């Protein structure tokens, strides 16, 4: 059944179950086969099945009831941001049902301000790579993302950087950095000078998300100020009660 040994078995099972839920093989509200049945079907131990189901449960995709069974969450379709999606804007836009397009408005170098330097754990005046990127949902501009990375981390010529990729791919490809965790601060703010590019009037309110990405070594890799037109794109997240 599971011939490819390249990926962990649990990962393969995870993908299969996700697909079945997405396809409606397991319809919303329906009960899944029991852990033992799934273990049998895939020819794995029950423990392996349980690690997979645990992951789906924390995302809110399934609901588990002791003594009863495992059910597909009916509300999951209404949600565009499960855990770990609030900084991946392309993903957020797609999950909201729009076509996504990313335009790199500017990729240049700047000197770190005091504040930047503090956040990135280096000295003021050091050179940073600035990326201004605009995200479109069905050709309407919805997110302006301004990111700063220490230029010293850049592993390729600056001209090669493709600003249309997802941020974690940019970090992996051009900076050889892997993200361990992200902190996001959520504000409301008035559109101000970001209004123009987002096609808003200056007195409109919008969401501001301040993100910081860190490596496993606790080193800050990239920081960002992101402005989101929440009239078009409404971040909606699920959180499982544990």
Binding site for a second copy (CB under 8 A): 29, 47, 58, 60, 63, 65, 71, 73-75, 78-79, 83-84, 86-87, 168, 178-190, 203, 205-208, 212, 214, 216, 218, 230, 234-242
Q: Which one of a second copy, DNA, none is in contact with 46 (Cβ closer than 5 to 8 A by kind)?
A: DNA
Among 35-43, 96-104, 136-144, 225-233, the segment contacting DNA (CB under 7 A): 35-43
Please name which of 91, 96, 103, 168 lies closest in space to residue 135, comparing C-alpha atoms.
Answer: 103
Please name which of 90, 83, 54, 52 lies closest in space to residue 181, comparing C-alpha atoms.
Answer: 83
Q: What single string gives the DSSP state of each residue in 61-82?
A: SEEEETTTEEEE-TTGGG-SB-
Q: Does 69 bind DNA (CB under 7 A)?
A: yes
Q: How many other CB atoms are found less than 10 A from the CB of residue 7? A: 11
Q: How many residues does the chain have?
A: 242
**Residue 109 C-beta: closest distance to a second copy, Å:** 26
* Furthest-apart CA atoms within the chain: distance in Å: 61
**Residue 59 C-beta: closest distance to a second copy, Å:** 10
Select the residue interacting with DNA from 16, 18, 30, 50 (CB under 7 A).
50
C-beta closer to DNA: residue 8 or 24 = 8
């Amino acid at each position: 059944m599971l011939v490819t040994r390249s990926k962990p078995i649990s990962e393969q099972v995870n993908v299969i179950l996700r697909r079945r839920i997405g396809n409606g093989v397991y319809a919303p509200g329906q009960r899944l086969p029991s852990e033992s049945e799934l273990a049998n079907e895939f020819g794995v131990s029950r423990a392996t099945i349980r690690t997979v189901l645990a992951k789906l449960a924390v995302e809110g995709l399934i609901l588990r009831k002791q003594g009863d069974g495992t059910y597909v969450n009916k509300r999951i379709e209404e949600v565009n941001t499960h855990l770990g999606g609030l900084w991946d804007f392309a993903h957020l836009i797609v999950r909201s049902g729009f076509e996504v397009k990313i335009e790199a408005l500017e990729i240049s170098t700047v000197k770190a301000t005091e504040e930047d330097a503090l956040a990135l754990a280096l000295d003021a005046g050091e050179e940073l790579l600035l990326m201004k990127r605009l995200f479109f949902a069905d050709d309407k501009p919805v997110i302006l993302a301004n990111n700063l990375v220490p230029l010293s981390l850049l592993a390729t010529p600056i001209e090669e950087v493709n600003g249309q990729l997802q941020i974690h791919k940019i970090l992996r490809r051009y900076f050889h950095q892997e993200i361990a965790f992200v902190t996001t601060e959520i504000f409301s703010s008035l559109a101000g000078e970001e209004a123009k590019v987002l096609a808003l009037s200056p007195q409109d309110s919008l969401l501001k998300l301040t993100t910081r990405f860190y490596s496993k070594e606790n080193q800050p890799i990239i920081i960002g100020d992101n402005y989101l037109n929440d009239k078009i794109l409404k971040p909606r997240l699920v959180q499982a009660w544990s």
